[in-house]
Amino acid sequence: MAAFIMSGPLQALAFIVLFAIVSFYLPLMGLLSNGALGLITLRMGWKRGLSMALIAALAVGVAGFVLHRNWSGFVTTLLEWLPVIALAALLANTASWPKVFYSILATGCLAVIAFHLSVDDPETVWLQAINSLTNIEQLEQQFNNVDIQSLLRGAAPYLTGFLASGLGIALVLSLMLARHWQAKLYNPGGFQAELKELRLNKKVGIALSAVILAAIFNPTPLLVGLIVVGLAVFLFQGVAVIHGSITLLNLPWQWLFGLYIPLLLLPLQMGLLLAVLGMVDSIADFRTYLSRRPQR
């Protein structure tokens, strides 16, 4: 895929537009178009990435109008791609994954804080938004024994944090795919080395621990939202700890099946465990300890 994307502007444009349109029906396919734009930005700069995004978004908008008689595809895809381009440009200029994660963390936390400060009743706002997008009565007919309205009322106050964390995870996955493609073409093994060394400052881990402690005594939607955004960032450090530890312990790569199979089968539970591992590692620094162990 990477070689095809970088073989020419028309090929790159076709790839981006194709998977952006497919993402209308299979949302995860949007990561491929995001990754392609990230790759172009990493290799050729933000100006090339932005110009490609504008042309591709226009093509997606036309396709959306033909398929659904709606021009919103132009706006939504452009809003999705602009953060990818900005973060890819930051990564290209700094070669620092921590700075990328700090940017995502700061933006997500500020968005959660701003929403809760500006909206008097987040629960009502989210319920109205969900009701406008989903036929609740039809869902209740499909799930006879489930009180959908009660579930939504219970989850609505916390949706801001979950939305922010979900967007952050999607951005990181898009950038990691782009970086993997770039390394595969121009720097074999470079992405794996970066991933194994990923570590955030311990001050961030301490700050998140303090927020978690505060939420234990006062679990407000604002604090829970900040925690969810923070854990989404540390999820990737948890993955880095596993990758780095396997290398430091000279274990075969097949050990990674023990990470990714449970992560696929139990994403929420494993994601939480990895996020906590990443947060603790930011303070305890397990990989430095392992690297100092005498070889046997």
Model pLDDT, residue 90: 97
C-alpha radius of gyration, the chain, whole number: 21
Whole-number Å distance between alpha carbons of 120 and 116: 7
pLDDT computed for residue 293 by the predictor: 74
What pLDDT score was predicted for residue 146? Answer: 65
- pLDDT attached to residue 236: 96
Q: Tokens standing for 88?
A: 């890819």
Tokens of 128: 């109205």
Write down the pLDDT at residue 132: 76
What is the number of other CB atoms lying within 10 angstroms of the CB of residue 89? 18
Stretches where the chain sits below pLDDT 70 are 135-147, 294-296
Q: How far apart are CA 57 and CA 76, in angstroms?
A: 9
Nearest by Cα to 282 from 107, 101, 95, 110:
101
The number of beta carbons lying within 10 Å of the beta carbon of residue 48 is 16
pLDDT of residue 136: 66
Q: What is the value of pTM for the model shown? A: 0.91
Contact 114, 226 (CB under 8 A): no
pLDDT of the residue at 52: 95
Q: Where exactly are the structural domains of the chain?
A: 1-94, 97-295
Residue 185 to residues 4, 5, 136, 215, Cα–Cα distance (Å): 11, 11, 48, 45
